[in-house]
Amino acid sequence: MQNIWDELPKPYFVLAPMDDVTDTVFRRIVGDCAAPDVFFTEFVNVDGLQSPGRKRLLNRLQFTPKETPLIAQIWGKTPENYYKTAKELADGTFALESSNLEDTNFAGIDLNFGCPDKAVVKNGCCVALVNDRPLAQEIIQATKEGAGGKLPVSVKTRLGFNEVDYSWPEFLLEQDIAVLTMHGRTRKQMSKVPADWDAIGKVRELRDKLGVATHIVGNGDVMTRQQGLELATTHQLDGIMIGRGIFQDPYVFVSESPWHKMGALERLELYKKHVELFAETWGDTGRHVRVLNKFCKVYINDFPSAKHLREQLMNAQHTDELLQLLEQATKYEFTRA
Q: Are 132 and 124 in contact (CB under 8 A)?
A: yes
Cα separation, 148 vs 87, in Å, equals 7
Closest CA to 154 of 246, 239, 60: 239
- Which residues make beta-bridge pairs with 180? 155, 216
Burial of 160 (0-12, 13-18, 19+ CB in 10 A): buried
33 catalytically annotated:
no
Q: Which of 33, 115, 125, 126 is catalytic?
A: 115
Cα separation, 313 vs 310, in Å, equals 5
Burial of 272 (0-12, 13-18, 19+ CB in 10 A): middle
Counting every residue, how long is the chain? 337
Which pairs count as long-range contacts for 306-314, CB under 8 Å and 24+ apart, including other chains? 306/264, 309/333
Cα angle, residue 153 at apex, residues 9 and 41 outer, rounded to 5° = 80
- Diameter of the chain measured on Cα atoms: 68
Residues labelled catalytic: 115
